[in-house]
Chain A
Amino acid sequence: MTKEEIKHLGRLSRIKLTDDQIDKFNGEIDAVLEYVSQINEIVADSDKEKEVGAVYNVFRADEVTNTPGEYSEDLLREAPCRQGDYVEVKKILNPED
């Protein structure tokens, strides 16, 4: 893996990386990837083994179980920036676009 690739992974992961971190993670992630690649020695021969686990959908009725505003204050109190009953975020649309 190259430094550029680690930097790109940082961007995809939304984590700003310093140059030191890029150097450190570069070697470490390569070592882990080399280790985990041993699973490619395993040959999956039957179709059954290619199935993914005992996964199935579980549904419940889509019913409202709380009263309006019951949790709003508790949740909003945790927001880093708020305006009244709204979570405040940075502008994402540029009016010139």
Chain B
Amino acid sequence: MTIKELREKYLSGETTPEEVIQASFDNIKAKNEEIHAYLHIYEEAVEEANSASKELQTKGGEAAPLAGIPIAIKNNVLIKGKKATGSSKILENYTATYSATIIKKLKAAGAIIIGSTNMDEFAMGSSTENSAFGPSKNPIDTARVPGGSSGGSAAAVAMGSVPVAIGTDTGGSIRQPASYCGLVGFKPTYGAVSRYGLMAMGSSLDQAGPLTNSVADAELVHNTMAGKDSYDMTTIDDDTYPKVEKKEQYKIGVPRDFLSEGVDEDVLEAFEDHLETLREAGHEVVDVSLPLFAKGLAAYYIVMPAEVSSNLARYDGIRYGLSVDGEDLLAVYENTRAEGFGEEVKRRILLGTYVLSSGYYDAYYGKAETVRQMMRIELDKVFDDVDIIATPTTPTPAFKFGEKEDPLSMYRQDIFTVPVNLTGVPAISIPATTVERDGKNLPVGVQYIAPHAGEVRLFDLGKKMHDKA
């Protein structure tokens, strides 16, 4: 099910928003107990479907672009009056007091929010195993994780309950679950989409984006959410970056030295097959060298925890969220955070506190920011020669629950996605093919990366290769 197909059916009268929303609820009723994609369901969607129906009847093709389209939202995005938990015990009973800019924009475009999705606690993880409310399962193989941290959003689309779900991506949290669940996942240029109303994790890295069944849908939903916002001073203008044009044929760079280690053999073969398809379609594929990208994961695990430790200082048990009593104020802080945060969140806060502490700052955070700037320069040079860079999205297909107990082995799943966040460029993951594990065919994705503000190229090539448009 794609948004485009639904829109056509609405306009031809073949189906109505009421029927589609009902089908979404039926799907959730049948599948959510096992998959656990959703944390909350919003019954008022039925009434909203009613108004959408009327709008479509009276306005036809002039109706809002997402009129009557059901959508699911990751639970770290604030919707006024709804529980916003970030899948953390510390916010288990927190009700959002305002709506995120992207929520206002999606609603203004007619989208109907049917529920909020599960995630790794505060978006920290690659499997949803870090959710305080239990993991989501991969609808393609329920013995496996859906990926993370936007795993609930990926599962919601993959199980067929919605044509689109919103995720957030700090180091791969949209693209990796999209790859694991056979979907399109899009991470915009840093600043293209407002972060106002998103729970901050790594503020210099976070962006929200769609998980969909087609690239055209991802483009439509991204364009709905994008734009300058006076509530987010890091949002960019149309002229912040040089204009990037789309082309008939693209020159695609492959950082081959970066692919040699830790990638499953058949995932690499699938990627090579995809490159061959690109060549057959008339695109040029060349090798490029990005030696610093291989160090990206190391820089990321300094920058991100540092920002996490600062951002999560706000959860103190005083103004909102969980509060655990203690003998004095300090004890209230320490008890609240001990009980409210899960293990991975604590690990990253401790790590971030360490790398920011006096005497270590220069060696870790200062150095990582320098490396980040060097990565941007290295990438700019490569984009002087090529239009798009391609990598596998992840080194493996979806893994099994409990398989990655050692934190570092979990972190390595993000090796191809984190350099994109560190440099702030946009990237898309599209399904490439499947590989077999234990008799099941599991999807693997390919990632296209474009220069800053080069969204148009990703959507164009993505539509040609995936939507076959």
When each residue 53-97 of chain A gets 1 if its CB lies under 8 Å from chain B and 0 otherwise, what string results?
Answer: 100001010000000000100110111110000010110100000
Contacts of A17 in B (CB 8 A): 338, 346
Residues of chain B contacted by A11 (CB below 8 angstroms): 334
With A28-B347, A36-B302, A90-B332 known as contacts, the answer to whether A42 contacts B376 (CB < 8 A) is no
Q: Is the CB of B97 within 8 A of A74?
A: yes
Contact A14 B302 (CB under 8 A): no
How far apart sit A12 and B334, CA to CA, in the bound complex (Å)?
A: 10
B242 touches A (CB below 8 Å): no
**Binary B-proximity of A1-24 (CB < 8 A = 1, otherwise 0):** 000001001111111110001000
Which B residue sits closest to A90, measured CB to CB?
A: B329
- Contact of A39 with B302 at beta-carbon distance under 8 Å, contacts A10-B350, A25-B347, A49-B370 already known: yes
- Classify the interface of chain A: helix, strand, loop or mixed: helix
Among B234, B299, B337, which residue has its beta carbon within 8 angstroms of that of A15?
Answer: B337
Contacts A14-B334, A28-B407, A29-B350 given: A50-B370 contact, CB under 8 Å? yes
B368 with A80: CB separation less than 8 A: no
A50 to B338 CA separation, bound complex (whole angstroms): 38
Which residues between 32 and 60 of chain A lie within 8 Å of chain B, taking CB atoms? Answer: 32-33, 35-42, 44, 48-53, 58, 60
Q: Is the CB of A31 within 8 A of B408?
A: yes
Do A15 and B330 contact each other (CB < 8 Å), given the known contacts A39-B298, A79-B319? no
Interface assignment of B309: CB less than 8 Å from any CB of chain A: yes
B window 332-375: CB within 8 A of A: 332-335, 337-338, 341, 343, 346-347, 349-351, 353-355, 357, 363-364, 367-374
CB closest residue in chain A, given B98: A71
- In the assembled complex, which residues on chain A have CB atoms less than 8 Å from the CB atom of B295? 38-39, 41-42
- Measured between beta carbons, the chain A residues less than 8 angstroms from B349 are 13, 15
Task: Find the A residue at minimum CB distance from B301.
Answer: A36
Q: Is the CB of A39 within 8 A of B351?
A: no
Query: Which residue from chain B places its CB closest to the CB of A78 in the assembled complex?
Result: B320
CB distance from B376 to the nearest CB of A (A): 7
Nearest CB in chain B: distance from A80 CB, A: 3
Is A44's CB under 8 angstroms from B323's CB?
A: no
From 318 to 333 in chain B, residues with beta carbon under 8 angstroms from any chain A beta carbon are 318-323, 328-333
Q: Check A89 against B350 for contact (C-beta < 8 Å).
A: no
Establish whether residues A49 and B357, one from each chain, have CB atoms under 8 Å apart when the complex forms. no
A49 lies within 8 A of B377 (CB): yes
Give B271-316 interface residues, CB cut-off 8 Å to A. Answer: 292, 295, 298-299, 301-302, 309, 313, 316
Given contacts A38-B295, A58-B233, contact A53 B371 (CB under 8 A): no
Interfacial chain A residues near B369, Cβ < 8 Å: 52-53
Contact of B351 with A32 in the complex, beta carbons under 8 Å: yes
Q: Which of A28, A40, A79, A89 contacts B329 (CB 8 A)?
A: A89
Q: Which residues of B contact A31 (CB under 8 A)?
A: 406-408
Most B Cβ at <10 Å: residue of A13, A37, A75, A79:
A13
B374 touches A32 (CB 8 A): no
CB within 8 Å: A-B pair count = 138
B301 and A15 form a contact (CB under 8 A): no
> In chain A, what residue has the closest Cβ to B316?
A14
B-chain residues with CB within 8 Å of residue A92 when the two chains form the complex: 329
Residues of B within 8 A of A48 (CB): 377
B372 touching A53, Cβ below 8 Å: yes
Least CB distance, B336 to chain A, in whole angstroms? 8
Contact with B230, one of A12, A29, A40, A60 (Cβ below 8 angstroms): A60
Is there an interface contact between A44 and B374, defined as CB atoms closer than 8 Å?
yes
CB pair A89 B318 closer than 8 Å: yes
CB distance from B182 to the nearest CB of A (A): 31
Please pick, from B97, B230, B330, B406, the residue contacting A71 in the complex, using a CB distance under 8 A. B97
Kindly list chain A residues whose C-beta atoms are within 8 Å of the C-beta of B135: none
Residue contact A79 to B320, C-beta cutoff 8 Å: yes
Contact across chains for B330 and A25 when beta carbons are under 8 A apart: no
Q: Are A78 and B347 in contact (CB under 8 A)?
A: no
Contact check, B329 vs A87: say whether CB atoms are below 8 A apart. Answer: no
Question: With A36-B364, A38-B298, A60-B230 in contact, do A15 and B350 touch (Cβ < 8 Å)?
Answer: yes
User: Taking the complex as formed, is B250 at the interface, i.e. its CB lies under 8 A from any CB of chain A?
Assistant: no
The answer, among A25, A42, A58, A90, for a CB contact under 8 Å with B371, is A42
Can you list 18 contacts pairing A with B, beta carbon distance less than 8 Å?
A11-B334, A13-B350, A14-B334, A16-B334, A29-B351, A35-B408, A36-B298, A38-B295, A39-B302, A40-B367, A51-B373, A60-B230, A74-B97, A78-B319, A78-B320, A79-B318, A89-B318, A89-B329
Interface contacts beyond A13-B350, A29-B354, A48-B377: sample of 6 additional A-B pairs, CB < 8 Å, sorted by A: A12-B357, A16-B337, A32-B411, A52-B370, A78-B94, A80-B318
